[in-house]
Amino acid sequence: MSMLKERVDILVSTETITERAQSITLKTMEAYVSSAQEERYQMLITHLAMAVTRMDRGEELSAPPEIIMDEVQQSPYIHEANNRIAWIEQQLGEPLPQEEKAFLQMHFVSVLNN
């Protein structure tokens, strides 16, 4: 079993994340993460699972600092990051809150840059 899948399974078994979060996260891993890239995607996958869980539970959200997001928006990888976020929203069947999109943009830009 992959390290990331094992992490997601533990999070759902301890009710840290919802089953919907588990499902979306595993689909995202299948679509975008190869076994050689797992370590680079750890933070992104964990954040995605927690983001969907926060949505499901109606928890309060906060965005990353504006200065960081200004840099993220200038990245040559922002277009691909946005495409991947749009794919996740399609899988969810609803839009992500802007605060969660910002964090996912930051994480995707980071992994695509390495």
Q: What is the pLDDT of residues 73-110, one digit of tens each?
A: 999 999 999 999 999 999 999 999 999 999 999 999 99
Positive or negative torsion for Cα 54, 59, 65, 69:
positive
| Residue 54 CB neighbour total at 10 angstroms | 18
Question: What value does the CA radius of gyration of the chain take, rounded to a whole number of Å?
Answer: 13
pLDDT at 114: 81
- CB under 8 Å to 101, separation ≥6 — which residues? 85
9-62 residue pLDDT tens = 999 999 999 999 999 999 999 999 998 899 999 999 999 999 999 999 999 888
Calculate mean pLDDT across residues 61-72.
93
